[in-house]
Structure 1
Amino acid sequence: MTFTELGVDQDMVDALATKAITDPFPIQTQTIPLALSGQDIIGQAKTGTGKTFGFGLPIIQRLGPDPAPGVQALVVVPTRELAVQVTEDLELATSNRPTTVVSIYGGKAYEGQIEQLKAGAQIVVGTPGRLLDLAGQRLLSLSNVREMVLDEADKMLDLGFLPDIEKLFAQTPPTRHTMLFSATMPGAIVALARRFMNRPVHIRATDPDEGLTQANIKHLVYRAHALDKDEVIARILQAEGRGKTVIFTRTKRAAAKLVEELTDRGFKAAAVHGDLSQEQRERAMAAFRAGKKDVLIATDVAARGIDVDDVTHVINHTIPDDGEAYLHRVGRTGRAGKTGIAVTFVDWEDLHKWSLINRALEFGQPEPVETYSSSPHLFSDLDIPQGTKGRVVAPRAAAPVTAPAASEPTEGEATAPAEKTARSRSRRRTRSGGATQSSGPQQQAHAEHAPGSGAHDGSGPQRRRRRRGGSRPTPSA
């Protein structure tokens, strides 16, 4: 079926076509006709299955081609990154009509968000905390909301947002049209649906061959050594057909270190982790989506909301804590019916974790293969060209042994510190009245080569030595 056959207005069909979105996914095919009729819906689907347009197109269409100013639709999401993602999708769908979408989330200045609300934005996409904050300040009114969506409800439950969700529901009219989407259906989410929804229809969108792990993802598990991981990753990033890649690390420090290492090796890498400001995280995500950066390094929490369809590889730099975390990570690839590759490194001390994940997800790989950056199976498994090395640019130049004359300074970063160090050593020895530059073979050798050290090499006057005790001249009376 086409979007037109599902009953979607032509202006939105045309807007989606500009991004080559023409064929609806299963969740959209099942959701859109019911949602357009005003039916409350519980949609059970994983991220990456197209559910944003499944609820987005109906709520836009139900608001009308020229809605009155003021908030009439509310989409609640668990994370800032997902708020940005959903907003971008809805802005695409509304690009041919005057409907305005605004993102409301923490970590960003209030002023811009408040201005958009005052300007009459009709659709709000936001996280629970900031939504309640603005509502408490009477800067956001939910009293006229006709359409309400909870996206990734199970994630909001995990993050402790359930009380906030209930408060938001309480501020909306009871006659609203409500849709709830979640990958899983824990008891608390079912209870929430029963309390705030009106006879919802439960839609479950899964592929017939979908098991615990997606069939279109190739899973590779290696027992790797910590000191060799960067080299292995650098070679994987040069595999044939490698597109956008997400690398997961356990800590923020590891993410920051890895992005610096890969950048030095010549790869276009960016990081998303908790030590970065919201603006820095948004810039990194925007660069990744646009293809300006093709490697994104993330921690688990920061990765929520990485919803990019063309990720070809996911690399677990460190093993996730459990099977659920594993599925969440590798689910960044193999999206929208495409294939993907997931590579997991297992440290020696984490073999017990892998044993539990292997059993829970029925991998049948109890013993990860010991793997080095030079292992032949690494190249064959991932289609890495033979002879590939661990960097795509030459290493940074080391500090030169000799430096140019003082009259011809250079701009190299490594030269200046070397000169400064040599001069400071010379000054410290001279001022202390202790050993001179010739007091030892190593110091003598250093003094002969270090610029500005004062060593006599026949090119200038020799520095006068200061002697201890009575060797100094006595001033005349």
Structure 2
Amino acid sequence: MTLPVALSGSDVIGQAKTGTGKTLGFGLPLLERVTVPADVEAGRAQPEQLTDAPQALVVVPTRELCTQVTNDLLTAGKVRNVRVLAIYGGRAYEPQVEALKKGVDVIVGTPGRLLDLAGQKKLNLKHIKALVLDEADEMLDLGFLPDVEKIMNMLPARRQTMLFSATMPGAVIGLARRYMSQPTHIRATAPDDEGATVRNTAQFIYRAHNMDKPELVARILQADGRGLAMVFCRTKRTAADLADQLQQRGFASGAVHGDLGQGAREQALRAFRNGKVDVLVCTDVAARGIDVEGVTHVINYQSPEDEKTYLHRIGRTGRAGAKGIAITLVDWDDIPRWQLINKALDLGFGNPPETYSTSPHLFEELNIPAGTKGVLPRSERTRAGLAAEEVEDLGETGGRGGARGRGGPPPTPPSPHTPPPGSVARHAVAEDHTFSHADRAHPTQVKDSFTVRQLGTAKAVGVRNQAGAVSVGCSVDAHCRSVALSFQIVTLAGQNTHLNAVNLSNATNEHCDGCQTLAGAYQFVVSTARPFTLDATAQRKLADIHRRLDDLTRSKIPAADLKAQADSLAAEVTAVLHDAVAGAPKAPDAPAVAVHRHLDGWPGH
């Protein structure tokens, strides 16, 4: 429906359900408007019409969609040798500038990097004949409008403008018409498929408890006929943690979220497309437009924000006529949110059934074999895994930790999770900040964390926690063990008060049957008459101790030596704290620094 109108040069607003081929709907007309040497050779164009400046521009909201659209256009324009370049942030500027100097015909880019290069006079937009805003509702959202306007002001007044998206609210259409000349609004639906979702996608909605969701997802991922699966989370932290948990349960999983560097995001998507991992845990950064062949299951681990996000999420399966399954796990707190989504889309799932990982109807509806547990049997662990896919050196700019963030591939020393100088005592916010990672390159699963918590009581000034934990697979080592070491520093001001709020529980590997469990918790209570702060020297020393604690939990030394070294590190912490409070007024009837140690499972205890 779109092709005849777009090929005639008219402005187009194209709307269709996700997964129905919108990319080629604008891609083919776009490629036809570009003049290349093949057109001159065939007599369809004059030599003076050729230019090395870009002739067509596609603006997309996310980096992942940028690379995908670029690849699709390269494939479609291969016969005519159309030069297509992806321009987006997170990569080095130099290769993109060099490619622009050599000449390109079509540019696919994200607004930020396009504006950067255009502002530096590296990108010439004066020869653009056609503009496409893909996922137009996102691009023309009020938050993106200034960037879109700046880009449009750099383009020639006479051009073709096309907008394509699965969802197109009325307010967005009004904004779009301001930038277009008599646009034709085309909405494509099948006569027998009038709903908002694709008919080929079977939808299941379950009311699930947050604590049971990882087990529930692990069992769903073992359903008969399951191919590739995408699991969507609302927050970056949840995505990173769930990817780690699934990997510990034996699944080949990867993560895509905003805390990862661009190299790690592209590594995970490549591994997913190549089949090296078959479970991709992601935030909504991957929900728009990403097309991976063979995705049979989409799981909404957390309820989406609104109906548009829901449509884009479940649109990753059931694409191009294939069948798919979309499963949404709704927590009790999210029921009102889900009911709004259900009403907007008229889905008929207003009261999801209460479901647990052992519920019979879950096994029956999703075709999960009876007796399936939350750990993938070793005989079925056939995927190469994320570590088998190399991380491309993108010369990344800025970002959060370069090629890695939470849930990414293992870092190279020094570990980015070692707190920088000043981080131990600098935080004063009423929330937890936890950073964790898993070492995927070795059979030993390693986790470490650094948590800072501020307690909301007058007597408790702050709590600083430094912890590490390691779990060794029992089938690899007959003398395997699960180790947890926790160092927690509590500072009290005024009268010494016993803090029941401090939790010294230690993480252990619940799937390590028969493992020796070694848990050690060290609490350092600092009592002063008035609040005090650790100086830079003390902060650096504590950061160094945290790094060595992390190294210690990774080691395989005998338990007795491990305990001795932990005690030695605890003595160093005590010395640092004694020095730090030497000049502070002492609290009445309380030692300046009191150390409490709890050991569980160690030889002799």
**TM-score, normalised to structure 1's length?**
0.77
Letter in 2 for 1:421: L
SS at match of 1:345: strand
Q: State the match for 1:85 in structure 2.
A: 68
The equivalent residue for 2:28 is 57
Offset at residue 419 of structure 1 (A): 4.3
Q: Within the alignment, does 1:121 sit opposite 2:104 as a pair?
A: yes
**Bigger mean CA offset, 368-377 vs 132-141:** 368-377
Q: Bigger relative contact order, structure 1 or 2, given CA contacts below 8 A and separation 6+?
A: 1
What corresponds to 1:396 in structure 2?
A: 473
Q: Does the 8 Å contact 1:77/1:126 carry over to 2?
A: yes
Task: Give the deviation of 1:89 after TM superposition.
Answer: 0.3
Q: How does 1:289-328 map to 2 (within 5 A)?
A: 289-328=273-312
RMSD value, Cα: 2.9
Taking only the aligned residue pairs, the percentage that are identical comes to 57
The aligned runs of 1:117-156 (5 Å cut-off) are: 117-156=100-139
Per-residue Cα deviation, 1:324-383 (whole angstroms, up to 9, x for no partner): 332232222222222211111122232333333333333333332222222221111111
Contact 2:302–2:329 (Cα < 8 Å) also in 1 = yes
- Counterpart of 2:462 in structure 1 is none
Aligned length: 400
The offset of 1:304, in angstroms, is 3.1
What is the SS of the residue equivalent to 2:557? helix
1:165 aligns with 2:322: no
After TM superposition, list the pairs within 5 Å mapping 1:9-408 onto structure 2: 30-66=1-37, 68-158=51-141, 160-208=143-191, 209-393=193-377, 396-397=473-474, 398-399=480-481
Displacement of 1:401: 5.5
Distance 1:98 1:365, change over 3 A: closer
Change (3 A) 1:133 1:443: closer
Task: State the alpha-carbon separation in 2 of the partners of residues 51 and 428 from structure 1.
Answer: 60
Once residues 373 and 600 of structure 2 are traced to their aligned partners in structure 1, the CA distance between those partners, rounded to angstroms, is 38
Distance 1:354 1:138 in 2: 47
CA contact (8 A) 2:59 2:132 kept: yes
TM-superposition CA deviations, 1:187-241 (whole Å, max 9, x none) = 5543444343333322211222231333222121222222221111111111111
Higher percent of residues as strand: 2
1:98-130 CA distance string (max 9 Å, x none):
321111112221111111111101110011221
Check the 8 A contact 1:43/1:204 in 2, yes or no: yes
Q: 1:427 to 1:149 in 2, by over 3 A?
A: closer
How far 1:414 moved relative to its partner?
Answer: 6.8
Task: Find the partner of 1:416 among 557, 563, 577.
Answer: 557
Partners of 2:168 and 2:98 in 1: how far apart? 37
Tell me, yes or no, if structure 1 residue 446 matches structure 2 residue 603. Answer: yes
In 2 relative to 1, CA 114–55 (structure 1 residues): closer, same or farther, beyond 3 Å?
A: same
Which amino acid counterpart does residue 181 of structure 1 have in structure 2? F
Q: What SS class does the counterpart of residue 446 from structure 1 fall into?
A: coil
Q: Report the 3-state secondary structure (helix = DSSP H, G, I; strand = E; otherwise coil) of the residue aligned with 2:54.
A: coil
Distance 1:316 1:417 in 2: 43
Contact 2:65–2:290, Cα closer than 8 Å, also in 1: yes
More helix as a share of residues: 1
Cα contact 1:71–1:121 (8 A) shared by 2: yes
Judge which range, 300-309 or 219-228, deviates more.
Answer: 300-309
Kindly provide the amino acid, as one letter, of the partner of residue 9 in structure 2: G
Deviations 1:305-331 (Å, cap 9, x if unpaired)? 423343211111112233333223222
Q: Which runs of 5+ in 2 are unaligned?
A: 38-49, 379-471, 475-479, 482-514, 518-552, 571-598
Paired with 2:316 and 2:196, the residues of 1 have a C-alpha distance of 15
Gapped regions of structure 1 (runs ≥ 5): 1-29, 403-411, 430-441, 451-477
1:163 Cα deviation after fit: 2.3
Relative to structure 1, the CA distance from residue 425 to residue 288 in structure 2 (aligned partners, 3 Å threshold; closer, same or farther) is closer
Aligned to 2:543: none
- TM value normalised by structure 2: 0.61
Question: What is the CA–CA distance in structure 2 between the aligned matches of 1:444 and 1:212, rounded to whole Å?
Answer: 56
CA shift, 1:413, in A, is 5.8
Contact 1:47 1:307 survives alignment (8 Å): no
How far, CA to CA, are the matches of 2:340 and 2:33 in structure 1? 47
Tell me by how many angstroms 1:159 deviates: 6.2
Which is higher, the Rg of structure 1 or of structure 2?
1
- Asked if 2 retains the 8 angstrom alpha-carbon contact of 1:114 and 1:139, the reply is yes
**Offset at 1:71?**
0.9
Q: Is the 8 A contact 1:65 1:97 kept in 2?
A: yes
Amino acid aligned to 2:304: P
Equivalent position SS for 1:370: coil
Give, as a single letter, the amino acid of the residue that structure 1 aligns with 2:2. T
SS in 1 for 2:18: coil
Question: One-letter code of the match for 1:48?
Answer: G
From the superposition, tell whether residues 373 and 144 of structure 1 become closer, same or farther in structure 2 (CA, over 3 Å). Answer: same
C-alpha distance in 1 between matches for 2:197 and 2:138 = 19
